[in-house]
Amino acid sequence: MNLFDQDILLTDLGNSLFTGVVSDNWSVNGNPNGGYLMAMIADAMIRCSDKKNTPLVTANYLSRCVPGEVEIRISEIARSRQFTRFEASVLQQGEEKIRALGTFTAENNSCVVERYETKAPELAPVEKCVQIPTMPKYTLFHNLDLRLDPGCAGWMFGKLTDVSENKGYFSFSDGRPVDLLSLFLIIDSMPPAVMATQGMNSWVPTIELSVNIRNLPQTNRLKCSLRTRFITCGLLEADGEVWDENGNLAAISRQIAQFKAG
């Protein structure tokens, strides 16, 4: 079993109640990655759902999760022929840490329109990209291999740009194939886009994250981008995209985060 699969394992206690253990293997500065936590939530929802396709999950991060035992409670809130919707509550030591909503769709073989008005990010060849270094408290990058395009990697060396964007290649360090649950992790693993213009000391904790899975990728290495256009009143947005190397869109995201300059 790959490390990611081991670290999202849940025990089904019945009555839509699940328990698991939040690992420290997917942390940023000691904080478990929000997309990793969302993968656990999505797994619990899928187990309760009669529909499995193109999940859309939105999570509000109420307070900081820590490595250790976690409880996930799922409630079905609506069901129709096309959609089933859930609410999830994530608790540690009796305190609610995350509240999430999830929508799952029925398989739709009549979806004949597939139109992209943009395309995968243009990236330098992998061998010319800049690998995120491994650091003790940043275990996320021990287990995910991120190669940033050199055009946006200057913030790691004190050279800033005029555009708040990070883009590059993602894959699992242990070669694990990318599947539906791991897309929640990967789309939230790009360093904050605002670092490209504001520097790596920026403080950017997530308030809300929405992830929509569109297609399962056909390649294990993915092309990803994260873009911020507005910083106002201590808040910013970040729009993420994940594509496979064949040009298929795998997932999109919108994140709202706090911003404080370092």
**Residue 122 pLDDT:** 97
Per the prediction, the chain carries an average pLDDT of 96
**pLDDT tens, position by position, 111-135:** 678 899 999 999 999 999 999 988 8
User: Any idea what DSSP says for residue 183?
Assistant: H
pLDDT surpassing 80 at residue 262: no
**pLDDT tens, position by position, 160-207:** 999 999 999 999 999 999 999 999 999 999 999 999 999 988 889 999
Find out whether 221 and 172 touch, Cβ atoms under 8 Å.
no
Domains of the chain: 3-105 (2.40.160.210), 128-258 (2.40.160.210)
Six token digits for residue 198: 């504001």
* Helix (H) or strand (E) segment spanning residue 224: strand 222-227
pLDDT band at 82 (very low <50, low <70, confident <90, very high): very high
**Residue 248 pLDDT:** 96
User: Any idea what DSSP says for residue 191?
Assistant: P
Q: What is the pTM of this model?
A: 0.96
pLDDT surpassing 80 at residue 110: no
Between strands 27-28 and 222-227, the pairing is: unpaired
**Residue 109 pLDDT:** 58
Dihedral (CA of 134, 140, 142, 146) sign: negative
